[in-house]
Amino acid sequence: MSGEVIPCRARGRFKEKGFDLLVGDLVEIAPEEKVIENVCPRRNRLLRPPVANIDQVIALISVSKPPLDLVFLDRLLVTVEKAGLETVICLNKIDLLTVPETDRIEEICDVFRDCGYNVVLASALTGLGVSELIFGFRNKVNVFAGPSGTGKSTFINRLKPSLALPSGPVSQKTKRGRHTTRHVELFELDEGTFVVDTPGFQRLNLEGIAKEELSSYFREMASLPEPCRFSSCLHRAEPGCAVKEALQKGKIATWRYNHYLDFLEEIEELERKKY
């Protein structure tokens, strides 16, 4: 890769086939005609945000303005686990919190750290946590994902100020920023190191995830030393359930388990609608 940007059109046949070209796709081009001839097979892809061939997802959630949304974070983690990608959880806007509020956030971080996640407390405004966050960025495609207004573009601007990406407060009414990110875009930070800015999304559905596989995307449930009595256990009220046992012993956080139950119900609802 030379870092050169070559604007290209896609051949009509991509459209005919209903094939979506994605940010992150590796393509073969005809340089004279400036058209995309071929799309290479993808290593992986995410549906939301729509992007292909990624190495790492930065789940960027703010702790205030907009308020900490753990349901959103757990949803995002489920979809990223499903795609088999590395994740860094980054809790941004720490500068807006008082000390006792920060202590509460630390407790939440510990839950994720116990699951094996890398968690960074950060402020794109003051620079807190930036070096920790970018520690693992080298030679990777790093995708920032999260709701609108959590600071994704501000963060990327901090990493490469010359990009001058639009960022701005999110309207409480429309939930959209007037000068914020509208599309997914990939930027080169350094040779071989990329970041992808994405628009925020409010809704992240769990389409394509079967209820039997859901608990395998909650790391603390997937890594229990003993299996449940029934291999088909959905960890609700079945006898001999290792997940419920771990929950009672305090080894699984109640709020994570409750999100699991909510997602399970949602998946069942989606399945009912299908048939």
Ligand X SMILES: Nc1nc2c(ncn2[C@@H]2O[C@H](COP(=O)(O)OP(=O)(O)O)[C@@H](O)[C@H]2O)c(=O)[nH]1
Binding site for ligand X (CB under 6 A): 92-93, 95-96, 123-125, 148-154, 167-169, 177, 180-181, 200
- Rounded to an integer, what distance in angstroms lies between the CA atom of residue 218 and that of residue 124? 28
Residue 166 CB, shortest distance to ligand X, in Å, is 7
- Rounded to an integer, what distance in angstroms lies between the CA atom of residue 54 and that of residue 196? 9
Neighbouring C-beta atoms of residue 100, cutoff 10 Å: 7
In this complex, which beta carbon is closest to ligand X, that of residue 21 or of residue 163? 163
Write out the binding residues for Mg ion, residues 113-142 only, by CB under 5 A.
none
Q: Which two tokens stand for residue 115?
A: 């699951």
Is 243 a residue that touches Zn ion (CB under 5 A)?
A: yes
Burial zone of 31 (CB within 10 Å; 0-12 exposed, 13-18 middle, 19+ buried): exposed
Q: Which of 75, 152, 158, 235 binds Zn ion (CB under 5 A)?
A: 235
Stretch touching Zn ion by CB under 5 A, among 15-23, 59-67, 118-126, 240-248: 240-248
- Rounded to an integer, what distance in angstroms lies between the CA atom of residue 102 and that of residue 233? 37
Q: Which of 126, 131, 127, 132 is nearest to 109 (CA)?
A: 132
Write out the binding residues for Mg ion, residues 162-201 only, by CB under 5 A.
180-181
In this complex, which beta carbon is closest to Zn ion, that of residue 90 or of residue 241? 241
Q: Where along the sequence are the contacts to Zn ion (CB under 5 A)? A: 228, 233, 235, 241, 243
Q: Where along the sequence are the contacts to Mg ion (CB under 5 A)? A: 152-153, 180-181
